[in-house]
């Protein structure tokens, strides 16, 4: 905490020095969304380069003066929380003054900018994300406040903890971890008692695009158990994008890649080649939109696809067919095909990439 307080004090000192010299104070933040600031490393995923381009947030410029003020406002809130050892969610910060902040996304972006500017992980700033992910299966742990969580004994779903760093005493006999893209598929696998039938496993869903806590939990489980991690996604560009975020990280959070990515994650399904192999009826597939085409084209250009020739092939199949499929398409074969046939076969015979 002293490191965080010192980092904030240094920023404020810089502002005061500028004022003392009758200069307009300026804050310098990294350009977090620029691909030129990103390098790809097999062992880490996407990470920010040390000499990255920056942008200045000036206090004397009408376009950026409000943002400058908001950064100082949130810095002061973080300073107080670290001093008093209290925590707040990003939502709490937004609702502390909705008129001032204007929208939740403004708060989210500023907190990420502050984390990047101070080079301090977000959870060390005492700002928690609102969690939307779920976990179930062969896992038990103790939360930071001493609450014991046991996912093993029932088909109950537990919300991913809001302070993943604080959980301890993780125990599991799981043979693998399955990341499921969507809530509906996750619930279906729970109803079918999948995590007990094949072999003990841990199931996680970020319910679409994963939040920070879900990604932190996947990473923590990997560090704790070193067991295979598979992804079950829709066979569409959006599903591939989500899988890449778990595996390689995102551009905007590349400054935190070391804590968030698991490059050993494998693509279990739904593969575009599976649709042909399983003779899925063309009528059950969905035609691409222009947005899908653009998203796929952008994914195909990313640096990590070049080192994944088998993924590249699957994306080419998808691009050529211009068709996509949700995991639910497997119910056209039989209602429990996913848990009874598809996943057990894949896991037994190594049908992942």
User: Phi and psi dihedrals of 104, rounded to 5?
Assistant: -65, -40
Q: Do 94 and 187 sit in the same domain of this protein?
A: no
Q: Do 106 and 246 sit in the same domain of this protein?
A: no
Closest C-alpha to 230, from 256, 262, 188, 259: 262
Boundary (domain end) residue, out of 113, 128, 143? 128
Contact of 235 with 270, CB cutoff 8 Å: yes
Q: Assess whether pLDDT exceeds 70 at residue 219.
A: yes
Q: Do 240 and 104 sit in the same domain of this protein?
A: no
Residue 54, pLDDT score: 79
Question: The domain containing residue 33 runs over which residues?
Answer: 1-128
Boundary (domain end) residue, out of 86, 107, 128? 128
Mean pLDDT is highest, among 231-240, 249-258, 260-269, for 231-240
Q: Assess whether pLDDT exceeds 70 at residue 87.
A: yes
Assign residue 147 the CATH number of its domain: 3.40.1360.10
Boundary (domain end) residue, out of 93, 110, 128? 128
| Claim: this prediction has a pTM higher than 0.85 | no
Active site residue 95: yes
> Distances in Å between the alpha carbon of 202 and those of 33, 134, 217, 271?
33, 11, 11, 21
How far, in Å, CA of 226 to CA of 175, rounded?
10
Q: Do 121 and 141 sit in the same domain of this protein?
A: no
DSSP string, 250-306: -STTGGGHHHH--TT-EEEE--HHHHHHTT--GGGSEEPPHHHHHHHHHHHTSHHHH
Q: Assess whether pLDDT exceeds 90 at residue 228.
A: yes
The tokens of 131 are what?
A: 């969690």
Per residue in 164-181, pLDDT (tens digit) is 888 889 999 989 999 999
Mean predicted confidence (pLDDT) in 84-107: 88
How far, in Å, CA of 159 to CA of 41, rounded?
31
Residue listed under structure tokens 């905490």: 1
If one compares 222 and 55, the residue with the highest pLDDT of the two is 222
Rounded mean pLDDT of the chain?
87
Residue 349, pLDDT score: 86
Of these residues, 95, 141, 246, 304, which one is catalytic?
Answer: 95
The tokens of 319 are what?
A: 């691009």
Number of domains in the chain: 2
**Portion of the chain with pLDDT greater than 70, in percent:** 99
Q: Do 29 and 154 sit in the same domain of this protein?
A: no
Assign residue 40 the CATH number of its domain: 1.10.10.10
Q: Strand pairing of 88-89 and 158-159?
A: unpaired
Contact of 112 with 32, CB cutoff 8 Å: yes
Which are the contacts of 184, defined by CB distance < 8 A and separation ≥ 6? 328
Q: Do 65 and 165 sit in the same domain of this protein?
A: no
If one compares 129 and 16, the residue with the highest pLDDT of the two is 16
Residue 103 CB: number of other CB atoms within 10 A?
Answer: 10
Q: Assess whether pLDDT exceeds 90 at residue 313.
A: yes
Q: Assess whether pLDDT exceeds 80 at residue 352.
A: yes
Residue 154, pLDDT score: 65
Q: Do 268 and 139 sit in the same domain of this protein?
A: yes
């Amino acid at each position: 905490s002293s490191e965080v307080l010192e980092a904030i004090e240094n920023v404020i000192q810089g502002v005061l020095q500028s004022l003392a010299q009758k200069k307009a104070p300026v804050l310098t933040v990294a350009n977090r969304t620029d691909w030129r600031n990103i390098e790809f490393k097999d062992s880490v995923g996407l990470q920010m380069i040390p000499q990255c381009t920056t942008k200045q947030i000036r206090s004397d410029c009408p376009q950026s003066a409000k943002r400058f003020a908001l950064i100082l406002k949130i810095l002061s809130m973080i300073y107080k929380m670290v001093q008093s050892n209290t925590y707040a969610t990003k939502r709490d910060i937004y609702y502390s003054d909705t008129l001032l902040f204007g929208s939740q996304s403004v708060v989210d972006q500023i907190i990420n900018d502050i984390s990047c500017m101070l080079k301090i992980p977000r959870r060390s700033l005492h700002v928690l994300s609102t969690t939307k992910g779920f976990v179930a299966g062969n896992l038990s742990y103790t939360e930071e406040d001493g609450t014991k969580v046991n996912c093993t004994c029932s088909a109950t779903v537990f919300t991913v903890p809001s302070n993943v760093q604080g959980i301890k005493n993780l125990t599991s006999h799981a043979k693998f971890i399955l990341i499921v893209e969507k809530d509906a598929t996750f619930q279906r696998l729970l109803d079918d008692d999948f995590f007990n039938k094949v072999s003990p496993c841990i199931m996680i869903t970020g319910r679409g695009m994963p939040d920070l806590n879900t990604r932190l939990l996947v990473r923590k489980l990997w560090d704790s158990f070193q067991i295979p991690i598979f992804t079950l996604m829709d066979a569409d560009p959006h599903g591939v994008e989500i899988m890449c975020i778990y595996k390689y990280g995102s551009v905007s959070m590349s400054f935190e890649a070391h804590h968030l990515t698991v490059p050993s994650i494998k693509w279990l399904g739904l593969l575009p080649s599976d649709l042909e192999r399983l003779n899925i009826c063309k009528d059950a597939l969905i035609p691409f939109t222009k947005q899908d085409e653009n998203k796929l084209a952008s994914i195909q250009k990313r640096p990590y696809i070049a080192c994944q020739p088998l993924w590249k092939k699957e994306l080419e199949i998808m691009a050529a067919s211009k068709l996509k499929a949700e995991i639910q398409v497997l119910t056209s074969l039989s209602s429990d095909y996913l848990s009874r046939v598809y996943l057990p076969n894949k896991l037994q015979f190594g049908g992942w990439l």
